[in-house]
């Protein structure tokens, strides 16, 4: 008899615990985003589509060192580096990334590339609208990732 009473008590307590969570969420503030009708709220550290940054002079911060590509566990960064010249200076370092591709069909948004970059050239933005029927369009090129020059309008939101 004692064990039946204990079981009944435990069951009631468990149900009460469960319903407490249910009612707390039912009566609490909704966190559902009405996307795309209203803009999505991002946390500051959200890891979205990468952005290749520029410095204060508008030069590209990437110096073509390949450290991000080496750190990438999904092997989805492809870089071709080239030398800066006095006539055509692209970055403040000796080299710059002539080609910088990220394959978003492979990227797992782990952030290792961002952590590995010695010049803070690559960061995560808040872009997230990557869905597509064409896998080839998930290969993002430098032109899509690069922060626009101050006087130019962005090509990629
Ligand atoms: S976020 Fe991770 S998987 Fe994506 S490019 Fe960077 S290192 Fe590679
Ligand atoms: S993004 Fe950073 S780590 Fe990657 S090649 Fe450029 S400077 Fe090096």
Q: 71 CA to middle of ligand 1, Å?
A: 8
For 82, phi then psi, to 5°, come to: -140, 160
User: What is the domain extent for residue 64?
Assistant: 50-145
Between CA 110 and CA 30 the distance in angstroms is: 29
**Domain total of the chain:** 1
Q: How far is CA 22 from CA 19, 94, 105, 128, in A?
A: 5, 59, 37, 31
Residue 3 confidence (pLDDT): 87
Pair of tokens at residue 132: 């597509």
Residue 72 CA: which ligand 1 atom is closest? Answer: 7
**Test site for ligand 1: of 111, 122, 138, 142, most ligand atoms within 8 A of the Cβ:** 111
Between CA 52 and CA 23 the distance in angstroms is: 45
Residue 78 confidence (pLDDT): 98
In this structure, what CATH number is given to the domain that contains residue 121? 3.30.70.3270
Residue at 16 is within a domain: no
Q: How many CB atoms lie within 10 A of CB 57?
A: 7
Residue ranges of the chain whose pLDDT lies below 70: 152-157
Answering whether pTM is above 0.85, one says: no
> If you take atom 3 of ligand 2, which residue's CA is the nearest one?
117
Residue at 60 is within a domain: yes
Q: How many CB atoms lie within 10 A of CB 73?
A: 10
């Amino acid at each position: 008899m004692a064990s039946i009473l204990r079981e009944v008590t435990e069951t009631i307590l468990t149900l009460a615990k469960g319903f407490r969570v249910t009612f707390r969420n039912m009566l609490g503030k909704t966190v559902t985003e009405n996307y795309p009708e209203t803009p999505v709220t991002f946390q500051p550290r959200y890891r979205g589509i990468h952005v290749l940054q520029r410095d204060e002079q508008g030069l590209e911060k990437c110096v073509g060192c390949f450290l991000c590509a080496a750190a990438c566990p999904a092997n989805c960064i492809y870089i071709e580096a080239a030398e800066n010249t006095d006539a055509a200076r692209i970055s403040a370092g000796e080299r710059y990334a002539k080609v910088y591709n990220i394959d978003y069909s492979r990227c797992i948004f782990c952030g290792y590339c961002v952590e590995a970059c010695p010049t803070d050239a690559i960061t995560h933005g808040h872009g997230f609208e990557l869905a597509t029927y064409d896998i080839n369009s998930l290969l993002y090129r430098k032109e899509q990732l690069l922060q626009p020059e101050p006087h130019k309008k962005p090509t990629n939101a």
